[in-house]
Structure 1
Amino acid sequence: MHHTHTHKRIPSREHHDWNIVERIAIVDNQEPLVAVPNESRLKQEPIYFKNQVPHAINLCAARASVIEKLREATTQLPEHLGIVVLDAWRSREVQQALQDQIGDVIKQTYPHLSADEQKAMLKQFVAPVGPDFVSPHLTGGSVDVTLFDLNTGAYLDMGSDFDEPTDKSFTTAYENQPEHVAHANRRTLYHAMLSVGFTNITSEWWHYDYGNQLWAHYSGRDYAVYGAAEQL
């Protein structure tokens, strides 16, 4: 059992600058995209398809090594928990649709912010879209994950909704609230994922990377091993 994880803090980190991240070299190792399996401790639920996001596909797929690392991460969890993948590889079309949707949510939720402030907030929660920009999910190296209880199938309370554009979504949001169930749950997920080589972005407790430019940035690598994976 690996309960020691829950005692370790999630470190605070600077939020990345996309302009720096996108300059990191990519040497694509040409690993194929593979569907996330449905096993006892690792499952997929394609949430964007379920929520009828335009162009979303009814499948979560990631690079082969990412699938292996997810399996490995499940072995680092308490025995009654598993990992569910909500989204992984994502086309440019879906990325644009998400930008539009979450941009609208931010406009409605934060009407007092200027257009520039709203744009800056959107950048924290959704990677930019551009013809030459390799967004993390386009590589098949990003996974959006949460924990579920093997006995009930229920997702654990992580203290904010997936894709919720608020401060509560920042990975360390509950670090100083040990009485909240999300405090331990986020630590459990974070340490299991980092122990097998994933990196996390500061603004999203659910988002983990391996092999792509964000991973290279957060882990201090010289180059990424996954570039754009155009289609399944």
Structure 2
Amino acid sequence: MLLSSIPTPIEHDWRHIENISIFESNESLLAVPNTQNLKQLPIYFDSNVNHAINICVARQSVIQKLQQAADLLPKHLGILVLDAWRSSAVQKALQEKIGDNIKTIYPHLSVDEQQQLLSDFVAPVRADFISPHLTGGSVDITLFNRETNEWLDMGAGFDEPTERSHTHFYEDQPTHPACQNRRLLYSVMNLVGFSNLPTEWWHFDYGNSLWAYYNQKSHAIYGAAHWDVVDHQ
């Protein structure tokens, strides 16, 4: 597969994204399956984030497209899903967790600057705002080696709130393994219809308002979704 470079990012503004119309498709949330080249690891549950569930679930079409993307990869690689649908309670917990990380990493920034940086990595938590993960249309993913189960080098840790996490960061370092690995992940996901959040190499969207924003669609097809843990036990 010929890997093209990752384009210079277009900054997102949550105020624009929340104004996009939603024509709800009513697609179901389903558990992400574990196949040979598509697997899940609910990372927030494993790291004891408050209210996180022990499974990755997403809209039906999102899962189908993830499998299509995985099938485009070289045979020794697969896609690992770390998070997908996320409740508002988990979103709030992550805002606090990553906000604390930012305060530790960037103590020299003002409170306003820290909040601006936080908005690059975590969507707002408000009663009148539908965050991308709440729709079941967002997935946080990485690539893994099917023979060793090791994650590929992406050049920045998952949820790392630094510029190294920006998807295009390694484009001026084409010999760095992370440059080619990011290009590969970006390419297969783009080919099957996902958009990428430019500040996070791991975050991809389909069907929600963030996807509509980056694909210049007139509307989104996924609004807020609900996964009832009790019903699925």
TM-score normalised by structure 1 residue count: 0.97
Residues 158-173 of structure 1 mapped to structure 2, 5 A cutoff: 158-173=154-169
Residues 87-106 of structure 1 mapped to structure 2, 5 A cutoff: 87-106=83-102
Alpha-carbon distance in 2 for matches of 1:179, 1:36: 33
How big is the shift at 1:44? 0.2
Per the alignment, residue 37 of structure 2 pairs with 41
Structure 1: runs of 5+ lacking an equivalent: none
Q: Which amino acid aligns with 1:34?
A: L
How big is the shift at 1:230? 2.3
Alpha-carbon distance in 2 for matches of 1:15, 1:80: 34
Alpha-carbon distance in 2 for matches of 1:13, 1:222: 21
How big is the shift at 1:13? 2.1
Per the alignment, residue 219 of structure 2 pairs with 223
Alpha-carbon distance in 1 for matches of 2:36, 2:187: 20
Alpha-carbon distance in 2 for matches of 1:109, 1:155: 25
Of the three residues 13, 17, 26, the one matched with 1:17 is 13
Alpha-carbon distance in 1 for matches of 2:6, 2:216: 18
Alpha-carbon distance in 2 for matches of 1:59, 1:230: 14
Alpha-carbon distance in 2 for matches of 1:231, 1:192: 28
How big is the shift at 1:132? 1.3
Per the alignment, residue 127 of structure 2 pairs with 131
How big is the shift at 1:78? 1.2
Does structure 2 conserve the Cα–Cα contact (< 8 Å) formed by 1:15 and 1:201? no
Q: Which amino acid aligns with 2:18?
A: E
Q: Which amino acid aligns with 2:13?
A: D
Does structure 1 conserve the Cα–Cα contact (< 8 Å) formed by 2:77 and 2:145? yes
Per the alignment, residue 29 of structure 1 pairs with 25
Alpha-carbon distance in 1 for matches of 2:6, 2:104: 31
Per the alignment, residue 231 of structure 2 pairs with none
Alpha-carbon distance in 2 for matches of 1:148, 1:140: 23
How big is the shift at 1:39? 0.6
Q: Which amino acid aligns with 1:181?
A: P
Per the alignment, residue 52 of structure 2 pairs with 56
Of the three residues 78, 83, 96, the one matched with 1:82 is 78
Of the three residues 104, 111, 129, the one matched with 2:107 is 111
Does structure 1 conserve the Cα–Cα contact (< 8 Å) formed by 2:37 and 2:77? yes
Alpha-carbon distance in 2 for matches of 1:76, 1:10: 18
Per the alignment, residue 193 of structure 2 pairs with 197
Report the number of matched residues.
228
Q: Say whether 1:154 aligns with 2:150.
A: yes
How big is the shift at 1:112? 0.4
Per the alignment, residue 68 of structure 1 pairs with 64
Alpha-carbon distance in 2 for matches of 1:107, 1:56: 23
Partner SS for 1:148: strand
Structure 2: runs of 5+ lacking an equivalent: 229-233
Does structure 1 conserve the Cα–Cα contact (< 8 Å) formed by 2:9 and 2:168? no
Q: For the aligned residues, what is the CA RMSD?
A: 0.6
How big is the shift at 1:76? 1.4
Q: Give structure 1 regions of 4+ aligned residues with deviation exceeding 2 angstroms.
A: none
Same amino acid, percent of matched pairs? 58
